[in-house]
Amino acid sequence: MDPPIINESSFSAANPSSYSLTGIWPFSSANGGRIEGLGLKMGALVGRIGEPNSTRDEESTVTEYSGGGGRKRRDANFEDESSKIVSTSSDAIALNNLNGKRMKISGWKDEPGGSKTDQEMSSGSGSKAPAGQTQTHKPSEPPKDYIHVRARRGQATDRHSLAERARREKISERMKLLQDLVPGCNKVIGKALVLDEIINYIQSLQHQVEFLSMKLEAVNTRMASPTEGFPTKDLGPQPLDAAGLLFGSQTTRPFGHESQPEWLHMQLGNNFGRMT
């Protein structure tokens, strides 16, 4: 019944000290491709064990089938980070065996996972040795199909709320990325305000594109009809071809953006090679 998907060697790449869990819990996500069949089994098992715990505020982990997509890079990153905190001990294994509820199957998903798990461990059932934190790492290989979530103390541990929480955390991760993209969004807190900022930013960018396109059109029209009296000594009636000439002759032209001349040189160089 246990398909031989566990390779201890696959774990050794990530963390040599995390073998022990394979003994307890033979199902693991070491081999993402084969999990699909197991997903249901694991879900059922976990669900069965998780249900009596739904009212308890003890911690448990549940794996979730995430349906793929190639966006599991974060998991790899966080595994690298959190590989420092992993340690296993035989006590912990025995405890886990006895406990039955502690099915820590795999790595954390979110960033402050390290510090959070330390707190959780210490705030968990105090009688157990808190140092015995067991964790397996998915070796940082591409696509794992599971996202592993840890439930915090005091939160419901039934399957649906865990799924909801995992989804919310995924979305908030991406919101953080968006906050980095949008300037001035770091000071804003709260999903609604951040979304407002993002919407404003996108609208302003689109207006800028429209305005610049009008300006470009005007400039092009002016350039293309040199009878209007503008001095176009550097640009002929085909301003676009002559842009390369312009660049070649005026190297000290002041630019608003310092980083751009380089790429424009390259681009116009390509252009020239292509068109002449």
| Contact pick of 8, 36, 91, 217 for other proteins (by CB under 8 A) | 217
Least CB distance to other proteins at residue 208 (A): 5
Q: How many whole angstroms separate alpha carbon 157 and alpha carbon 55? A: 8
| Contact pick of 34, 41, 153, 215 for other proteins (by CB under 8 A) | 215
Indicate the residue among 94 and 193 with the shorter CB distance to other proteins.
Answer: 193
Least CB distance to other proteins at residue 132 (A): 34
Interface with other proteins by CB under 8 A: which range of 25-33, 44-52, 115-123, 220-228? Answer: 220-228
Q: How many whole angstroms separate alpha carbon 54 and alpha carbon 124? A: 15
Binding residues among 64-123 for other proteins as defined by CB under 8 A: 67, 71
Binding residues among 186-205 for other proteins as defined by CB under 8 A: 192, 195-196, 198-199, 201-203, 205
DSSP β-bridge partners for residue 147? 64
Q: Shortest CA distance to 2 belongs to which of 20, 19, 23?
A: 23
The 129-158 site mask, x for binding other proteins (CB under 8 A), equals: ------------------------------
Angle between helices 191-224 and 159-181 (to 10 degrees): 40
DSSP β-bridge partners for residue 129? none
User: Would you say the C-alpha torsion 226, 231, 235, 240 has a positive or negative sign?
Assistant: negative
DSSP characters over 83-137: TTT----HHHHHHHHHHSS----S---STTHHHHHHHHHHHS-TTS-TT------
Q: Which residues bind other proteins (CB under 8 A)?
A: 67, 71, 164, 167, 170-171, 174-175, 177-178, 181-182, 192, 195-196, 198-199, 201-203, 205-206, 208-210, 212-225, 228, 230-232, 234-235, 238-241, 243, 246, 253, 255-257, 259-260, 262-264, 266-267, 270-271
